[in-house]
Chains A and B, each alone.
Chain A
Amino acid sequence: MKRLICSLVAVFMVLCAGWAYAAEPIKLGVAGAHSGELRSYGLPSLEAAKLVVSDINARGGILGRKVVIVEGDDACKPEVAANVASKLATDGVVAVLGHICSGATKTGLGIYRDANIITMSPSATNTDLTLSGAYPNFFRTIGSDDYQAKIITDFALKKLKLKTFAVIHDKADYGKDVAESAKKYLESKGARVVLFEGITPGAVDYSAIVQKIKRSNAQMVIYGGYHPEAAKIVMGMRNKKMKTLFISDDGVKDDTFIKVAGRYAEGVYATGPADTSKNRMAIAASEQHKKVYGSDPGAFYLNAYAAALCLLQAIDKAGSTDYAAVSKALRSNWFDTPLGKISFDKNGDAKGIDFTVYQVQKGKYVELGK
């Protein structure tokens, strides 16, 4: 028995030594909503990261080292995001692709900043994340809420020539940010905001707020938030035979919204990243997704694909995984991505990325342009 234990220990030690000799893999954290009701926003990013990483590994990795993905599921909840961030930091990830929701990203960022980990989100659009200057480690491959709100209000004022608005949000970081920016832009252009209110996400029904919108006689509802509540409000309005227009942000520009709201979704406007269907890399990335996962890619897939490429290429260009070197590489180089040629400004916002307005027509989002 003793011999057996001795030999087991010996084998174990040899194995350990073997591992130590092989080059340490580069760990890339991928965090976001991989479960829960908002997973349709998070899973495509994980899939994108996996495809990019397997491509890069097939070509020999970066800096002669393999890349491995460390997954972190925050279910879009800030309190869970803190745990996920600590775990990733302890695991020694070099960079994090994520998180998905702005609230969760904000919680994670402080932890990553203190651990010198670069974080790049494909979807967190909260204005403060970049413009507050509090998170020098933060980058993103999507436009900010403020920018999105500007696109929404420009579209409503210039294209649709509307004058009265009801601005509704879901009281969470992301929705409120869009709503407040929209209100600011509307008022600066002389339009009237007749109603500005937050609703409770997940409430049993929204009939009271629908009545209030009806009474306010707004021509259009601008909603900041995600698709479950948007669907309830739109369905409530249409059931009350209200024809008030409805525009929202990219939290609603997801096919799940159309699936849930069905025929009531017709005519709803939403902003989202500009169409990249003519970009060669975007076509290739989508094809790859279809081949591997057997379906069309979901929300933020291309943004995440671009983010993963930028992060890994920046490490390659920097020649090391050092925090300062990689963030300098991100800011000083232009990267070829499915979103076009992009780089990052001093705040971490991507240069070369655009938003546009979509409308649901015959059960599909159709690009209308700005």
Chain B
Amino acid sequence: MDYFLELFFGGLTRGSIYALIALGYTMVYGIIELINFAHGEIYMIGAFTAFIVASALSLCGMSGWSLLVLSGAVAMIYSAAYGFTLEKIAYKPLRKAPRLSPLISAIGMSIFLQNYVLLAQTSDFISFPSLIEEFSFMENVTVMRSTELVIFVTTAVVMVLLSLFIKFTRMGRAMRAVAQDRTMAMLLGINVNRVISVTFIIGSALAATGGVLISSHIGQINFYIGFIAGIKAFTAAVLGGIGSIPGAVLGGLILGWTESFATGYVSSDYEDVFSFGLLVFILIFRPAGILGKSSSEKV
């Protein structure tokens, strides 16, 4: 039973990270129908920012939770700035172009950002400080670690806040309106550019959160971590139904559990076979993903 629970919580942690990144994919897709392939890189930049800030602050003698919160906050702001700029530089000029153009632009930005960090920082793996402290009340719990607890509590809180934001605030309503029909929203006086920018800012901040949390859980980062995490999170978003926010979280968790249990009970040789097999299987029966609504192409 312990073994099952350990795998369960391991999968939950991994799934939470996928979910945090997948939220960014799904929100952007929901609003401008673009798959933002540079999103994984924003996650990586978040992790690097937190690393730099945390190193600087711990030199000044700061430690514990304040260090985590402060470096996390700086990472979120910095990544959000990257997300905002990314949209302005790479996607906005192409908004009226054929759909393939922004996609290529996204892939280009992804390669650019990776190499930028490679050159500006290092290609080596760097040891990431464990910013999340061990709780004393967790000492006798063997099936999970404090970092795992922090990761999925954070994901749950973020998910609830995001849903409330989209449901009840003016900006949230504007986002839903733009997602439904951009031209109509514009005619009704919604500042579409602002809505899109806000979407990118929120998505990037969430990715940075995921980057900081998982890095302090695993303890190492390099410039390439965004690629694989990005692919997996994209899979999660498609699995849950791209464009749907609860779908992204559900997709992330299902993917995390599938990988964890497949490794635990079958073999880690086939970890990816199971996760992508599941994706194919679900897309056969629900082409729009688990919670996605299939809609006809807008004319």
Evaluate whether A211 and B268 lie within 8 angstroms (CB atoms) in the complex, with A35-B123, A204-B229 already known. no
Contact B267 A211, beta carbon cutoff 8 Å: no
Evaluate whether A37 and B11 lie within 8 angstroms (CB atoms) in the complex, with A212-B264, A228-B125, A239-B145 already known. no
Interface residue from B10, B220, B223, B271 paired with A228 (Cβ < 8 Å): B220
Q: Is B154 an interface residue (CB 8 A)?
A: no
A228 to B219, CA, bound (A): 11
Query: What chain A residues lie within 8 Å of B260 (beta carbons)?
Result: 207-208
Contact B264 A208, beta carbon cutoff 8 Å: yes
Evaluate whether A209 and B269 lie within 8 angstroms (CB atoms) in the complex, with A204-B17, A256-B124 already known. no
Interface residue from A171, A231, A264 paired with B125 (Cβ < 8 Å): A231
Contact B264 A202, beta carbon cutoff 8 Å: no
Contact A208 B7, beta carbon cutoff 8 Å: yes
Query: What chain A residues lie within 8 Å of B232 (beta carbons)?
Result: 204
The digit string for B174-207, where 1 denotes a CB below 8 A from any CB of A, is 0000000000000000000000000000000000
Interface locus among A180-188, A192-200, A335-343, A355-363: A192-200
A199 to B272, CA, bound (A): 10
Main secondary structure on chain B at its contact with chain A?
helix
Query: What chain B residues lie within 8 Å of A212 (beta carbons)?
Result: 263-264, 268
Query: What chain A residues lie within 8 Å of B126 (beta carbons)?
Result: 260
Count contacts on B: residues with CB < 8 A to the other chain: 39
Evaluate whether A197 and B269 lie within 8 angstroms (CB atoms) in the complex, with A203-B228, A211-B6 already known. yes
Interface residue from B14, B125, B228, B267 paired with A207 (Cβ < 8 Å): B14
Q: Is B214 an interface residue (CB 8 A)?
A: yes
Count contacts on A: residues with CB < 8 A to the other chain: 34
Contact B271 A200, beta carbon cutoff 8 Å: yes
Q: Is A261 an interface residue (CB 8 A)?
A: yes
Contact B222 A232, beta carbon cutoff 8 Å: no
Q: Is B217 an interface residue (CB 8 A)?
A: yes
The digit string for B207-236, where 1 denotes a CB below 8 A from any CB of A, is 000000010011110111101110010000
- Interface CB pairs A-B, < 8 A, 19: A37-B224, A39-B124, A40-B124, A198-B269, A200-B268, A200-B271, A200-B272, A204-B218, A208-B260, A208-B268, A212-B264, A212-B268, A215-B3, A232-B219, A235-B218, A239-B145, A256-B124, A261-B219, A262-B127
